[in-house]
Amino acid sequence: MRNFKELKVWQKAHHVALEVYLITRSFPSDERFGLISQLRRSAASVSANIAEGCGRDSDRDFSRFLTIASGSASETEYHILLAYDLKFLEEKPYIELDGKINEIKRMLNSFIQKLKPNC
């Protein structure tokens, strides 16, 4: 069993989730059950799936949860783009957050590829 808190990819995903929670505080209140909720859930899902995968017994299971985390990262990437296009997010925070999400996706993909020979 792995300690998810020690994984760089989890640490980065956790920080992005925290940023998303802070950023969405300034979104219009009528988006509370819409984009705010979707964005927060998808961002938190990335680190949650990494953590859940670390609790699994095999590399195959772990890889499956990393793949789910990658899907959640892509969903977060889209929600951030939507927030930017709707003018809820300024250009600089959008570019920074998008870059962080894409770095996480690359890290997840690399991690999955390293686990594949053991699956």
What's the rounded Cα separation, in Å, for the pair 92 and 57? 41
pTM: 0.94
For the segment 25-34, the average pLDDT, to the nearest whole number, is: 94
Pick the CATH number of 7-118 from 3.30.30.10, 3.40.50.2300, 1.20.1440.60, 1.10.260.40: 1.20.1440.60
| Rounded average pLDDT over 36-57 | 97
| Helix, coil or strand: residue 94 | helix
pLDDT digits over 66-85, tens only?
999 999 999 999 999 999 99
Q: What residue has token string 């938190």?
A: 44
